[in-house]
A = this chain, B = another copy of it.
Amino acid sequence: MSDKVNLAEKLASFSDHWAPRIVARYNDNEIRLVKVEGEFIWHSHDDTDELFLVIEGALDIELRDRTVHLHPGELFVVPRGTEHRPVSRGGETKLLLIDPRDMPNTGDEATATKAVEI
């Protein structure tokens, strides 16, 4: 994984939802791409922040006290320990995420969809 990454090409290579792909690594973190649609579950990550960058579509990141509305070219960092629920109400949304290596996307190994390298 020492070559450049074209985000559009990587995104074109898969079509399932809420199944993150690892496209690069930065220190102990994974740069992930994911396609989402509809509602995810409420969850949190106790030990880490999580970065969301919208590439295409629109994402609501619901927090317990407010909702962050993201459009293409907008990013938000969910602070560690903060309950959140990503929701894509208007169809499919394409996201870039930054997460620590092996972090479960649901905050829980038992329910997570493991991120795989592409």
Contacts and interface: CB of A to CB of B under 8 A. Distances in A.
Interface of A: 2-8, 23-27, 29, 31, 48-51, 55, 68-70, 73-77, 79-80, 98, 100
B76 A5 contact: yes
A77 B26 contact: yes
B6 A77 contact: no
Contacts of A51: 24, 26, 31
A24 B25 CA distance: 19
A26 B7 contact: no
Contacts of A77: 2, 24-26, 31
Given A51-B31, A98-B98, A76 B26 contact: no
